[in-house]
Amino acid sequence: MPVADEIDNAGPHFVKILIVEDQPRLSQLLRQGLAEHAYTVTCAGGCQAARDALCEVSYDLIILDLGLPDGDGLDLLSEWRRSRFTEPVLILSARDSVQDRVRGLDLGADDYLSKPFSLEELLARVRSQLRRRSEVKQTVIEYRGIRLDLLSQSAHLNGQPIELTRREFALLEIFMHNPGRILARTLISEKIWASHYDLDTNLLDVYMSRLRAKLERTYDKTFFRTVRGVGYQLL
Ligand code: CA
């Protein structure tokens, strides 16, 4: 089973860009142009491949074509926004009417560039999106009734305060940054227990069961799924 190989809030990391484009030549051109500027690039040739890619790893930016062989990029975009995937999306499409642009932006795209385009302009727009992204520092994260305030380090569930230790809070925060994604045990452990030499992943199970007890027993909802031998997922 594919697993996220990097955690969203792991600090400085390589900028990851997902290209959703079905034309192999264009896809290759984009990949090359972006890779030359040290971006880490993943390409998906259709809707399903893009869905799969985004379920596995988080991206800093998605470049989205609209006419795809197995569906419409706009449907994909609205699906992502409904599922609270907040990755910035730059639409790159041959559809260039005002209505098309408005529709794309209304559905949650962050920018719209029409084909044909110059690679230079695309790169400038990518930089602009990434700058904006790093300026927006989220201090409150909400998901399924869970509300984490990162400044005051307080947690609420359905408006009721939950008492969490610092480690439990840090653990929940990682999941809240990556809802729906399967996170590998070693990655979670490395993030929570910075010193690797005494890394004991059994400790993770202990913390997970405490966190579950605090979130799930009181409200009789399942928040976490254990993926045997792999890790955990915030559902
Ligand atoms: Ca296309």
Domain boundaries, the chain: 4-134, 140-234
Token readout for 89 is 């999306």
- Could you identify the residue written with the tokens 């004991």? 200
Query: How far is the centre of ligand 1, averaged over its atoms, from the C-alpha of 231 (Å)?
Result: 36
Q: How far is the CA of 90 from the centre of ligand 1 (A)?
A: 14
CATH of domain 4-134: 3.40.50.2300
| Other beta carbons less than 10 A from residue 132's beta carbon | 12
- Residue 137 is predicted with a pLDDT of 61
Beta bridge partners of 182: 233
pLDDT of residue 13: 42
Token pair of 160, please?
Answer: 């009721």
The set of long-range contacts for 36-43, using a CB threshold of 8 Å and a minimum separation of 24, is 37/123, 38/14, 39/14, 39/15, 39/126, 40/14, 40/15, 40/16, 41/16, 41/17, 42/16, 42/17, 42/18, 43/18, 43/19
Structure tokens at 150: 């990162």
Query: Ligand 1 mean position to 11 CA, how many Å?
Result: 34
Question: Cα dist. 202→188, 199, 231 in Å?
Answer: 12, 9, 12
Q: Are 50 and 18 in contact (CB under 8 A)?
A: yes
Using alpha carbons, select from 159, 144, 164 the residue that is nearest to residue 234.
144
**Coil, helix or strand at residue 137:** coil
CATH 1.10.10.10 fits 140-234, yes or no: yes
Q: Compute, in angstroms, the gap from residue 64 CA to the centroid of ligand 1.
A: 9
> How many whole angstroms from 183 Cα to the centroid of ligand 1?
32
Q: Mean pLDDT per 10-residue run, the chain (235 residues)?
A: 44 74 97 91 96 83 97 94 85 94 94 95 94 73 91 89 90 89 81 58 84 83 89 91
d(CA 9, CA 121): 29
* Ligand 1 midpoint to CA 78 (Å): 18
pTM of the shown model: 0.58
* CA–centroid distance, residue 57 to ligand 1 (Å): 23
